Structure 1
Amino acid sequence: MEATFSTSLDGIIIIDSHGDIVEFNKSAQKMFGCCRDDVLGMILRKRSSRHLTAKPSTRAC
């Protein structure tokens, strides 16, 4: 599964049950113009059927 994730031409974002981004592949980095380390731990929220935005997590660590 790791090989598929890392070599996929499709952008893949994996989130946990809280909506936190826990994985972000290289294609997603190119699509969104974000580095993986910058988005890990952010909360993915659906704004509309076409737009996704990342918002920093406010949960206590």
Structure 2
Amino acid sequence: MNANQIINMIVRQVMRRLVNSGVNKGFDMAARVGRKANQPSPRQDDSDAGHGNSNNRG
């Protein structure tokens, strides 16, 4: 391997990590749109699912 191939390999690895972290942060921000600041995520909100309390009409 010559120096150019090694440099290209390292640059590709760094760019892959940067792009992946940016995509993950973008999806996290998009998932938070429309939710209040202290409202739990949908995964945490299903704690009482299946107990019949979700449709309480009185």
- Bin the TM-score by the shorter chain: under 0.3
Normalised TM-score (structure 2): 0.26
Higher strand share: 1
Higher relative contact order (CA 8 A, sep 6+): 1
Q: Which has the higher helix share?
A: 2
